[in-house]
Amino acid sequence: MLEGVDIGRKDGQRWLLRHVHVRVSPGDRVALVGPTGSGKTLLLRALAMLDRLDEGTVRWKGKDVHGDAVPLFRSRCVYLHQQPALLEGTVEENWRAVYQLAVHRQRRYDRTRMLQWLNLLSRDASFLIKRLNTLSGGEQQITALLRAIQIDPEVLLLDEPTSALDPQATRDVELLVQRWIEEAPAERALVWVTHDARQAQRVADRTLRMKEGQLVEETDAELR
């Protein structure tokens, strides 16, 4: 489904990522762990084609991603930053704005579906009319996650998506993402960056560890 082949990124003469190979197959739930500064976010951004590569290539379903294929690829493989970028206005206005993009104009906003997801997150319809400048950091993370999954991506690249949430809200988000995978396990996968070993066990069935810009080991999450 998604493959990074010999990925390399550098800053001047210093390599930030080097010789990184990673493959994500349908149904995969991958935890990406490692110390701060080890390259986890850089790798996710590279896989999402958000940053220029100095070496290597990203492949989507066996084909290199480049040129005109990038916008469609980014709609199928979605990266969520720990501190998401949102628009001014209400939560629902942020969700509706997605459908103004050319790549999503054939889709329709589904309020009923969004309310069902909010219910799983212990929130009701009043959340729709909250304005961006009133949202907590955790509420912004929830808004960004739901904005992403409403367009039915095939791969989610999640960069500490629950870092600003309390324990109960964190578990609610984990359950929501698990249900998202289970809706279409032959078509969906995720990579979840976390510093929490217990969360890695809960959300993933395999764990990749980064150290100094390289993937240095791969283990089953249950062995952590």
What domains can you pick out in the chain, each with its CATH number? 2-219 (3.40.50.300)
State residue 104's pLDDT score. 83
Residues of the chain with pLDDT under 70: 217-224
State residue 222's pLDDT score. 43
Strands, E assignment, 12-76: 14-24, 29-33, 55-60, 63-64
Report the amino acid identity of residue 182.
Answer: E
State residue 80's pLDDT score. 95
State residue 217's pLDDT score. 66
State residue 127's pLDDT score. 97
3-state secondary structure 90-125: EHHHHHHHHHHCHHHCCCCCCHHHHHHHHHHCCCCH
- pTM higher than 0.85, yes or no? yes
Q: Which of 202, 181, 182, 201 is nearest to 190 (CA)?
A: 181
State residue 221's pLDDT score. 44
CA-based R_g, the chain, Å: 17
State residue 97's pLDDT score. 93
Distance CA 63, CA 40 (A): 24
State residue 224's pLDDT score. 43
Contact between residue 197 and residue 224 where contact means Cβ atoms under 8 Å apart: yes
